[in-house]
Every structure is written in structure tokens, then in C-alpha cells.
A = this chain, B = another copy of it.
Amino acid sequence: MSLINHQVQLASRPDGEPSIANFRHVQSPVAALQDGQVLVRNHYLSLDPYMRGRMNDGKSYAAPQPLDAVMQGGAVGEVVESRHPHFAAGDKVVGAGGWQQYAVFDGATPGLLRKVDTTHIPLQAYLGAVGMPGVTAWVGLNMIIAPKAGETVVVSAASGAVGGVLGQLTKARGCRVVGIAGGPEKCAYTVGELGFDACVDYKAHRDFKALSAALKDAAPGGIDGCFENVGGLILDAVMARMNAFGRIALCGMIAGYNGQPLPMLNPSLILISRLKMQGFIVSEHMDLWPEALKELGQRVASGQLKYRETVAQGLESAPEAFLGLLKGRNFGKQLVKLV
């Protein structure tokens, strides 16, 4: 074969806010497949907030994204050629395809590449509601928040790929669900389309006092569970409204991704309200994925679980789309469509 592969690589690490200059486009021929390998053509790339953390070189839960290498990330696509018996040309797959047109996988490594059924579920949903973001919501909800019917749960970045699933799963468990999102359009979507009970527009409440008051209106009985994607002021305001024995699943702190200091205003609330706060990474709970994917797949296939996508066109648009995601310019799951 003489396929040409186009990639986006990390060219330099950001100093503070990342920019287009941190990325580089390169092309190179796709090498011939060896025994056991599988060649996949990526149809959709997944853009996710966690990628920002990996652009840094500091201590974090995952190894940093290597410089001068293809940007790592999830992708869905179709097998073009297979030299492994578990895969065949034409198979629809999800895996860590990266920001590139073609990806080569070792077919024998468990979990690296997985065949998916697109009869009732669109291929790209395996990057969203039936993929890592959906499972992230499921794990945080079931492993940490574990809400009882009638409790109130708050989720930040509520219209995003994780937040939207979190809110709908929580509603299905009989809870009151309050979103926090940026702007009236996103708020209206979580209430009108996703069935949230209320949503607080953080852009309309810029300081602690205003945000606390808005949360009090939206959750008059206090907050029992919180799925936190943002941190900073939003977490401070939620903590002040938590009921005794509240649980906070800490999934992301996108407010601090560019390195700005992000202290917690009043940690003594953890003691005063006997809160449990726990950070987690979905890839460390692989034992929960099958059960999570089963519920998420059924809900998406039956139309009970809704989601929204923002789709950038073409590989070259990936860096700009990613920078937009970090600023909340996307609406729902941010994808890049290659095919």
C-alpha cells in the first residue's frame, strides 16, 4: 500500500494558555502491516478536556503527551486491513486512534481496539455517551455519589459530553438534578432537552455570593451530590450549599488547566458538613466499564439518553476545535469528522 497518513503532533508545550502554535501538521507514508497488526481509518476523533493536562510536563495521573508525536486520543473508524484474526476489513471499531487519518494497532493487546455495533447506535456515540465520557459519568455517579431517590445532585459543565449523561442518569434514579453551564442557551438545553430540574448560568453569576445565591434558588433543599468538572469558584459555591454527608466526585478542574493557582476557599466545610470528596480517573476502573456500557448503550439505542455534538470538519480543524473546547465554545460532545 502507498497510503499517506496526515497527523497532528504536539510541537511544543504551552506556557499558560495553549495556542495553535503548539501543534504541527505532518504527513508520512503508512508502513506495511506486520503480523498481528490492524490498520484503521479514523472516521471521528474525540476531543476531551483531559488532553489539556497531558500537554503539560508536570506531575499528573497520566504520562505527558510526548513532544513531536501524534496527539493521543480516542477515535472511531473502520478497519481497512487486518493481519489479526479478531478483526476484518469493514469492522467498525473504537480505540486510541489519535489525531490522524490512519492508525495501526496491535490486535492482540486487550482493550486497545474494540469492535462496536452500529445497528442501533451511531458510530461516533462510542466517543461520547456510549464511550469514555458516558462511562466517566456512570462511574462517578455510581462509585462515588451513589445518590438516593429524592436527593439533589449538581453537575458542572452540564451541557458537555460527561455532564449531559450524568444529569440524565441521575434523573433516572429519581433525583433532583441541577446543572451549572455557561450561557442561557446551554442552560435552556439541559432543562428543556435533557430534563434537568434547573440550571445555573455561571456567566451570569460571576462571584461567590451571586453563584451561591443562584444555587440556593436552584437547590432550595441543599445539595447532596456533586459531579465536579470545573473547580475553583464553582466548587467553592457548591460546597457552601452541600448538605451533611454530601459526596463530591471530582472528575476535572478545567478552571485550573492553564496553571493558574486554584485554592479551595473553605476546606473546613468538608469537616463541618462531613463531606466525602474523591478524585477519580475512569480508565482506572475498567471493571465497571462493561456494566456502564451496557446501560449507556441501551439508553442511547432506545432514545432515553440524549446528547448533542459539535462536529469540526477535517483533521486540520482539530487544534482550533480543541482550543474552543477549553473555552467552552463547543455544545455537547466535541468531535472532528475525517470521513
The reply to whether B284 and A279 form a contact with Cβ atoms under 8 Å apart is no
The reply to whether B274 and A277 form a contact with Cβ atoms under 8 Å apart is no
Please judge, given known A-B contacts A263-B266, A264-B263, A264-B264, whether A252 and B278 are in contact too, CB under 8 Å: no
Which one, B59, B275, B278, contacts A275 given CB within 8 A?
A: B278
Interface of A is mostly: loop
The reply to whether A278 and B276 form a contact with Cβ atoms under 8 Å apart is yes
Interface size class on chain A is 20 to 34
The reply to whether B256 and A268 form a contact with Cβ atoms under 8 Å apart is yes
Copies in the complex: 2
C-alpha gap A256/B267 in the complex (Å): 10
Which one, B266, B274, B279, contacts A273 given CB within 8 A?
A: B279
From 240 to 278 in chain A, residues with beta carbon under 8 angstroms from any chain B beta carbon are: 244, 250-253, 256, 261-268, 270-278
Q: Is A280 positioned at the interface, with any CB of B under 8 Å from its CB?
A: yes
The reply to whether A275 and B267 form a contact with Cβ atoms under 8 Å apart is no
- Interface residues of A, Cβ cutoff 8 Å to B: 59-61, 231, 235, 244, 250-253, 256, 261-268, 270-281, 284
In the complex, 10 of the A-B residue pairs with CB atoms within 8 angstroms, ordered by the A residue number, are A59-B272, A231-B267, A252-B271, A256-B268, A261-B265, A261-B266, A262-B266, A264-B267, A274-B278, A275-B279
